[in-house]
């Protein structure tokens, strides 16, 4: 799912430029309000459709269909474990044993971006459930 506010902010100047063609200020304001309402309705419908797709995907018994989101989470968690726990302990243990093992560094910037996205979507979903904005579907969402 995407952030409707960002998309509306992107489309707002376009709507404003088109509305500038209308000379009557009242008609212009009505046209802008109608266009914004129509955009918001279209975006909300797309969000609802994506939610339905997510529910069907999560209910699929095939792990390659329903398990891709958890797999991304596990890959991210594993990468952080290697970068910040396993790697330093292996290097430290090797140094204590008199060996100079140095593991190659991981791209933690990409891992951090992925983690923030995962945590943000999970946090948003929790906030929606707590505020009663979105009902719990019970399908793993």
pLDDT for 14 beyond 60: yes
Number of domains in the chain: 2
User: Which residues are CB-neighbours of 40 under 8 A, at least 6 positions away?
Assistant: 4, 8
- Residues 24-66 have pLDDT tens digits of 888 888 888 888 788 878 878 877 887 787 777 777 787 766 7
Q: Which pLDDT score is estimated for 110? A: 86
Cα–Cα distance for residue pair 135/128, rounded to 1 Å: 8
Position 86 scores a pLDDT of: 92
* Domain membership flag for residue 92: yes
- 48 and 33 part of one domain: yes
Same domain, 73 and 57: no
- Convert the pLDDT of each residue in 84-128 to its tens digit: 899 999 999 999 999 888 888 888 888 888 888 777 766 666 777
- Tell whether 130 and 71 lie within a shared domain: yes
Q: Distance between CA atoms of 118 and 121, rounded to whole angstroms?
A: 5
Residue 107, domain extent: 67-135
pTM of the model: 0.45
Boundary of a domain, candidates 19, 37, 62: 62
Domain co-membership, 54 together with 101: no
Confidence (pLDDT) at 42: 80
Residues 76 and 40 in one domain: no
User: What pLDDT does 1 receive?
Assistant: 45
């Amino acid at each position: 799912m995407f952030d409707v506010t960002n998309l509306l902010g992107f489309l707002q100047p376009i709507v404003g430029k088109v509305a500038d063609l209308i000379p009557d200020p009242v008609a212009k304001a009505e046209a802008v309000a109608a266009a914004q309402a129509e955009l918001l309705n279209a975006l909300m419908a797309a969000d609802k459709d994506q939610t339905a797709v997510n529910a069907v995907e999560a209910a699929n018994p095939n792990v390659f269909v329903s398990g891709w989101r958890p797999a991304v989470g596990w890959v991210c968690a594993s990468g952080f474990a290697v970068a910040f726990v396993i790697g330093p302990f292996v290097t430290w243990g090797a140094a204590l044993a008199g060996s100079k093992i140095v593991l190659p560094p991981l791209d933690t910037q990409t891992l951090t971006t992925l983690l923030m996205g995962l945590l943000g979507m999970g946090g948003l979903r929790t906030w929606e459930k707590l505020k009663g904005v979105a009902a719990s579907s019970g399908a793993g969402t």
